[in-house]
Amino acid sequence: MSTFQAPKGTYDLIPPKSGVTLAVREAIAAPLKNSGYGYIETPGFENVELFSRGVGESTDIVSKEMYAFETKGGTKLALRPEGTASVLRAALQANLHKLGNLPVKLWYSGSYYRYERPQAGRYRHFSQVGAEAIGAEDPALDAELIILADQAYRSLGLRQFRILLNSLGDKECRPVYRDALQGFLRALDLDEDTRRRIEINPLRILDDKRDAVQKQLAGAPMLRDYLCDACKAYHEEVRELLTAAGVTYEDDEKLVRGLDYYTRTTFEFVHDGLGSQSAVGGGGRYDGLSEMIGGPALPSVGWALGVDRTVLALEAEGIELELPATTSVFAVPLGEEARRVLFALVTELRRAGVAADFSYGGKGLKGAMKSANRSGARYTLVAGERDLAEGVVQLKDMESGEQTPVALVDAVNAIRERLA
């Protein structure tokens, strides 16, 4: 009988690589925790309509990639393909916007699901850390989120990423641009699927990666030429704030992102070491999303950064994170009495904040020391009957090989001093 495998397009996180993933999540979250963002967690599945109305029926995410299903009770649900719509729904449901302290600033971390063609950096189950600032229209908020993401990546040691920036206009100026773009696109030689998109979401065609399409887009009307004065001024302030903060970015007039809800500021973090799947994260302003899902007008901005892609970016730059040892002290008992005493000592060390492990399974000295080596522990505690009779345990430095007897009653303090 063959063993079960993880479903196609998914993966298991296993030590030691899982330690890198945890460190990446923590590094992305750290600047957010330091900037007034509170943690939020939402269900792994939601009502299908939340995504079809919020993300957009015309997007690939909803039309092709969403895992949708019907429950035994007849409710239509979907595994969440992205985080923003869920977080906004949760904030509205809890009336966070009515507590009088806008913007509501939230961060989250979790798994998301899309039925995609699996390839390096693109999975059907993937991990993101995201942030949303709900209920305020302020260029400083847009700049803040971009700066915090830049700070997170730099704290990991990443340097070869770029920030692409654009404005998508608002409900006043974008329809005028949309009409002009549709007129231009209708005259092109495009396949039937792409022609359908002209009528539903023409801006997405600008993001088409196929050479045959990109060649025809030369001379397409540019959104910057259609931005109203308010959108121009807003975007200029975002740019000025980023420059003043020392954050380098590139203006990218074709950047539209794959979700229908974006307005004004949109941005993407790309890493050139990742090949075709170069985007490691991105986001933007979504001033109309709250109304799309039945809430009041709540201008908002946010981003999501891919944890899996960030790990790949670290590998591409040859960066190895310094991870804290999972085990600092490993206890090796020789005999039943030593087993009882050292197990109690390990429990005491853990309560004192020392990462400690124990030789389980009644191994002999040789086997237990092999386990101690594999654990990566800095010190090994060894004790037999003679040691206990003398009231000591042997403390072995795994780097130098030096072994020192330590009084059992002082062992916890002695170990903490050495580790400090």
CA atoms within 13 A on the CB side of 172: 7
Look over the chain and give the mean of its residue pLDDT values, rounded to a whole number. Answer: 91
**50-64, 169-183, 224-238, 356-370, range with the lowest pLDDT:** 50-64
Output the 3-class SS for 49-82: HHHHHHHHCCCHHHHHHCCEEECCCCCEEEECCC
- Long-range contacts formed by 14-18: CB under 8 A, 24+ apart: 15/326, 16/323, 17/311
Encoding tokens for residue 366? 């040789």
Model's pTM, two decimal places? 0.89
**Mean pLDDT confidence for 361-365:** 88
Q: Running DSSP on this structure, what letter comes out for residue 100?
A: S
pLDDT at 276 over 80: no
pLDDT at 261 over 90: no
- State residue 379 phi and psi, 5-degree precision: -130, 145
The whole-number pLDDT of residue 192 equals: 85
Cα gap 390→382, rounded to integer Å: 13
pLDDT at 207 over 80: no
Give the pLDDT band (50/70/90) at residue 57: low
- State residue 112 phi and psi, 5-degree precision: -135, 160
The whole-number pLDDT of residue 355 equals: 95
Give the pLDDT band (50/70/90) at residue 258: low
pLDDT at 16 over 80: yes
The whole-number pLDDT of residue 118 equals: 78
**Mean pLDDT confidence for 73-85:** 93
Cα gap 48→248, rounded to integer Å: 38
Give the pLDDT band (50/70/90) at residue 62: confident
CA-based radius of gyration for the chain: 27
The whole-number pLDDT of residue 336 equals: 94
Question: Cα 20–25–28 angle (5° rounding)?
Answer: 120
The whole-number pLDDT of residue 193 equals: 82
The whole-number pLDDT of residue 195 equals: 86
Reported as a single tens digit per residue, the pLDDT across 141-158 is: 999 999 999 999 999 999
Cα gap 257→273, rounded to integer Å: 20
Question: Cα 156–307–96 angle (5° rounding)?
Answer: 105
- For helices 17-33 and 139-155, angle between their N-to-C axes, nearest 10 degrees: 150
The whole-number pLDDT of residue 311 equals: 95
The whole-number pLDDT of residue 346 equals: 97
pLDDT at 209 over 90: no
- For residue 415, count other CB atoms closer than 10 A to its CB: 23
Within 8 A by CB and 6+ apart from 117, the residues are none
pLDDT at 320 over 90: yes
pLDDT at 392 over 90: yes
The whole-number pLDDT of residue 397 equals: 94
The whole-number pLDDT of residue 116 equals: 82
The whole-number pLDDT of residue 60 equals: 67
pLDDT at 120 over 90: no
| Higher-confidence position of 204 and 93 | 93
**Mean pLDDT confidence for 263-273:** 93
| Higher-confidence position of 418 and 261 | 418
**Mean pLDDT confidence for 264-276:** 90
Give the pLDDT band (50/70/90) at residue 131: very high
pLDDT at 327 over 80: yes
Closest CA to 342 of 384, 371, 379: 384
Give the pLDDT band (50/70/90) at residue 223: confident
Residue type, 232: K
- What domains can be seen in the chain, in order of their start residue? 17-173+227-316 (3.30.930.10), 329-419 (3.40.50.800)
pLDDT at 53 over 90: no
Beta strands 392-397 and 403-407, pairing class: antiparallel
The whole-number pLDDT of residue 58 equals: 58
Cα gap 231→168, rounded to integer Å: 9
**Mean pLDDT confidence for 78-92:** 95
